[in-house]
């Protein structure tokens, strides 16, 4: 009963958001075929943990614990305001209280640029030397997959804009792996390939710009290539 009401409200919200985008937002109909491989975010996270002998793991946004439950490590914290993990609250609430450092941080919470950027900056502060940040949903294949506010169930949001911004920072190397809806990877080290796209508002970047430049601006690479780097 409660679930049905929730689903009805959700559908109505999607419809209202569609109308909003129809009137106010960018129109672009082309689709990107990323040729993603079959590797899953869990493969990459597990590989990074084993290769680097990581001891602690933080996941932002856990949902059904599809990943969180399968991580074998000395200490793990999962943050989610609604379900899963072991810290009930938003990432902002977690970072405000947290005193720990982490080796591996998986950001998969609220997929909106402002929040993702905040989650990345807060994660960099508590990331151990030689640690890694991994992000899910970095490669939306159509404009509808990245619309904010959201208009569909399968949705990546505009995480990609935060990745593009991180690509311009001096103190991190940022990559995007062509697996599992696009896996962002951030390492805390001197940026060896700074993206220079001028002084612009990352939040206002257009999907057309992403469509035309995604490989360069996201620094995309194959799953095999990232294994050498992490």
Ligand X SMILES: C[S@@+](CC[C@H](N)C(=O)[O-])C[C@H]1O[C@@H](n2cnc3c(N)ncnc32)[C@H](O)[C@@H]1O
Cβ closest to ligand X, residue 155 vs residue 209? 155
Tell me whether strands 56-60 and 75-80 are parallel, antiparallel or unpaired: parallel
Residues that bind ligand X (CB under 6 A): 41, 59-63, 66-67, 79-83, 90-91, 108-110, 115
Cβ closest to ligand X, residue 159 vs residue 217? 159
DSSP conformation letters of 135-166: ES----SSGGGG-SS--SSS--TTHHHHHHHH
Q: Quote the CA–CA distance of 154 and 198 in Å, as a whole number.
A: 32
Closest separation in Å from C-beta 203 to ligand X? 17
Q: Quote the CA–CA distance of 213 and 199 in Å, as a whole number.
A: 17
Range 38-63 burial, b when 16+ CB lie within 10 A, else e: ebebebbbbebbeeeebebbbbbbbb
Which DSSP state fits 174?
Answer: E
Cβ closest to ligand X, residue 79 vs residue 172? 79
Cβ closest to ligand X, residue 115 vs residue 141? 115
Closest separation in Å from C-beta 163 to ligand X? 16
Closest separation in Å from C-beta 191 to ligand X? 27
Count of other CB atoms within 10 angstroms of residue 227: 15
Cβ closest to ligand X, residue 79 vs residue 127? 79
Closest separation in Å from C-beta 2 to ligand X? 17
Q: Which helix (H) or strand (E) holds 210?
A: helix 207-218
Burial of 203 (0-12, 13-18, 19+ CB in 10 A): middle
Closest separation in Å from C-beta 20 to ligand X? 20
Closest separation in Å from C-beta 170 to ligand X? 27
CB-based closest residue to ligand X: 61
Cβ closest to ligand X, residue 151 vs residue 173? 151
Sign of CA dihedral 177, 116, 50, 70: negative
């Amino acid at each position: 009963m409660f679930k049905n009401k929730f689903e009805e409200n959700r559908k109505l919200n999607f419809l209202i958001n569609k109308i909003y985008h129809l009137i106010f937002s960018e129109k672009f109909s082309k689709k990107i075929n990323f040729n993603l491989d079959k590797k899953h975010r869990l493969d990459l996270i597990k590989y990074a943990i084993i290769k680097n002998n990581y001891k602690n793991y933080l996941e932002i946004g856990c949902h059904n614990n599809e990943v969180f439950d399968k991580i074998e490590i000395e200490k793990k914290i999962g943050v989610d305001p609604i379900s899963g993990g072991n810290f009930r609250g938003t990432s902002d609430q977690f970072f405000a209280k947290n005193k720990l450092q982490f080796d591996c941080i998986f950001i998969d919470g609220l997929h909106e640029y402002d929040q993702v950027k905040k989650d990345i900056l807060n994660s960099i502060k508590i990331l151990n030397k030689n640690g890694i940040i991994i992000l899910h949903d970095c490669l939306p294949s159509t404009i509808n997959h990245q619309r904010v506010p959201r208009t569909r169930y399968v949705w990546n949001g505009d995480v990609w804009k935060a990745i593009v911004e991180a690509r311009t920072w001096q103190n991190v190397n940022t990559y995007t792996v062509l697996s599992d809806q696009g896996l962002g990877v951030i390492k805390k080290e001197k940026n060896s390939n700074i993206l220079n796209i001028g002084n612009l508002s990352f939040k206002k970047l257009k999907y057309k710009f992403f469509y035309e430049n995604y490989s360069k601006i996201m620094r995309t690479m194959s799953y095999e290539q990232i294994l050498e780097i992490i």
